[in-house]
Structure 1
Amino acid sequence: MAGQPDASDPLTLTRWWRAAPDAAEQVRADVDAWAQRVTDSGLLEAFGGTVAAGEPLLDFLERFAAAHWDFRAGRERNLATVPDLTPAQLEAIADAVGPLGLDGTPPPSLDNYDTVIMTGGMVRAGIVKPRHVRELVDAGVSFDEVTFLGAFRPFAGDEVDLASELGVEGDDEFDAMVAGLEKSFGPFPHGEVSEYSDDSPFASWRDVRWKLDGMDVRAVAAPSSEPERRRAHTGDTFRFWAERIPSSIRNVLVVTTPVYVPYQAAVAVEVLGLEYGITVETVAVSDSANDLGPLTQRFLPHHQLQELRSAIRGMRSLASALDDCNIPTITRVVRYE
């Protein structure tokens, strides 16, 4: 099942952070190479833009993407507006998604990981991500811990009806995560629950653990670092999990939806790799796991542009964190070699 990383591809080291003394320097170069792919993709020209002279490339790309590709405007993804794209723009998007890593990944590079983390998301993610992890387990990839990591985000828009059609009982992201785990790994015995409840759901958290066939299975709803303003984002969830694990956890596989890989891989490297010294690899769910028949999520060009904007933001944040490191002697990383 394991696939060998291709170190010649600038997407590889960004997705596959090894705790090594030269890792930060290598990944920093790969972030720059990925940003150059964005500029070479034809997307800027299709939207009437050219690179601003004298401005750092990632700074320019984030500013450009915010102006042209932010269809959410703070809303949940399924409530975003649908832009009217020209044929030239549609062609540029179709040509760019592969080189920019928005359409899937090779399989995991190892046969064993201490932990697999599935990142939370919309209601379908609650079902398809555990299905993919189940596929990996059945194919011989082993994990000491299977963790679904998200937040108490209420369903919005069409998620309410989708939850009912998918057999999810409940009204938020955490409920979908638990339902998906049970469908792929259950039935579960009585779980061990740790939790904190607050008047604000964005400050509340819950960690439910089950023992199953020698594995620890967990569903974790993390709190926001700014609960008065927003729900937990990906970085919040990673940090909450990392603060509550034993030091013996050294390598992690992150599983997410294909279109989210560049963004969530960048956050995983920044938080789990740089801040906690953990080897981390990010892979996309398979087409077979994603297949929900007529309920399957179809990622259209405007979705891909929206998530390219997220990827640019994630890569820019990662680049800044890498620049702040004492390259090549990152003691927090070297301690795991």
Structure 2
Amino acid sequence: MPLPSATPTGDGVIVDGISGWIGSAPLRTLVARFGGRWPAGDLGAVLAGLDDFSARCWDFRAGRERPEAREPDLDPPTAELVRTAADTLGLVRSRPPHRPRYAHLVVLGGLAHACLRRVAYAAHLLRTGVGVGGEVAVLGSFRPLSEVERQTLADVGVTGCDTEVDALDAAVRHTFAVSAPAADDGLDAGHPHHSWSSRTYRPAGTPPVRVLAAPSSEPQRRRAHTADTQRFWAEHAQLARHDEVLLVTAPIYVPFQHCDALRTLAVPYRCEIDTVGVDPTLADLTRLPEPTLTPGRYLQEIRSAIRSMRALHTTLADDERAGPSSRPTS
């Protein structure tokens, strides 16, 4: 199923994309398999109904970090149905970028293993001909690493990392063969939810690489999440209208993080977003750890995609009411 896409001329294309993905046969089949009734009403009502349904049936995190989510006990036919649906909905396989050149390449952070793999894949894209006119941005937060993540890094020779952004910074220094940033800025606010940092490296033969840790937009409640990092980067990079942005993440997160990027970047800046997942078959990545992707994890991230599309749909409605004056002019 194609994901929603943005065009500079209007938001109707995004809405049509949300409607197509949400109303697709694989998602309808999954809902029915788990005892759900398809929500009635317009697209907003359907998204709200699916959000409520997935909270009851597919939320295995219950507010915890992803590695702490429980795995549901599914019978083999149901587990196979989940995997097939996840594949059709775009959570399983990697695909190449649509364009040969972009204004910016953005690497989204994550767990320790993901930090290593995504930075390595971004370097692979640059080496194999993807052009970048602006910068490579590597986005994370001051989320503390778990002991399991620290061990994952130590197993491949990466030490001295306390936070997600530390892991991203170490990955950049190793992958791009740089030792010190050309520019280093930030704010230590005394709490990781309020603090931020920005380090820019200038590797030989590639665009500048910025490693950015964002503050939370709701620091009293939570750490910075994907949308916070994207929005914070756009402000620092002075993202321009109609810029083409290539996002790198893991295939399982492509739908939800793509829609987050549409909401935080495409709608306000009228830029184009292309989101790709790391290709696990690349020789450069075979030495780096990759977690087992289970049916429960796929269901959890299908729920994430539903929630992201609901938030995107709400933003589009709010944007239409506010009019063009509410958008950045850069």
Range with greater deviation from structure 2 (308-317 or 281-290): 281-290
Specify the SS of the correspondent of 1:147: strand
CA apart distance, 1:248: 4.9
CA apart distance, 1:185: 1.0
Q: 2:221 maps to which residue?
A: 229
Q: Name the Cα RMSD after superposition.
A: 2.3
Q: 2:152 maps to which residue?
A: 162
Flag structure 1 segments of 5+ consecutive residues without an equivalent: 1-8
Specify the SS of the correspondent of 1:237: helix
CA apart distance, 1:125: 1.1
CA apart distance, 1:141: 0.8
CA apart distance, 1:115: 1.1
Is residue 110 of structure 2 the alignment partner of residue 121 of structure 1?
yes
Specify the SS of the correspondent of 2:135: strand
Q: What does 1:234-313 align with in structure 2 at a 5 Å threshold?
A: 234-246=226-238, 248=240, 250-289=243-282, 291-293=285-287, 295-313=289-307
Aligned length: 322
Question: Retained in 1: the 8 A contact 2:269–2:329?
Answer: no
The whole-number CA distance in structure 2 between the counterparts of 1:171 and 1:335 is 38
The whole-number CA distance in structure 2 between the counterparts of 1:292 and 1:332 is 46
Flag structure 2 segments of 5+ consecutive residues without an equivalent: none
The whole-number CA distance in structure 2 between the counterparts of 1:52 and 1:237 is 32
TM-score, length-scaled by structure 2: 0.90
Q: In percent, how many aligned pairs have the same letter?
A: 34
CA apart distance, 1:278: 2.1
Q: 1:4 maps to which residue?
A: none
CA apart distance, 1:10: 3.5
Question: Which of the residues 187, 191, 202 maps onto 2:182?
Answer: 191
Range with greater deviation from structure 2 (182-191 or 257-266): 182-191
What amino acid does structure 1 have at the position aligned with 2:171?
G
Residues 294, 203 of structure 1: CA spacing in aligned structure 2 closer, same or farther, 3 A cutoff? closer
The whole-number CA distance in structure 2 between the counterparts of 1:221 and 1:334 is 22
Question: Which of the residues 74, 99, 122 maps onto 1:110?
Answer: 99
CA apart distance, 1:25: 0.1
Specify the SS of the correspondent of 1:140: coil
The whole-number CA distance in structure 2 between the counterparts of 1:128 and 1:294 is 7
Residues 106, 334 of structure 1: CA spacing in aligned structure 2 closer, same or farther, 3 A cutoff? farther
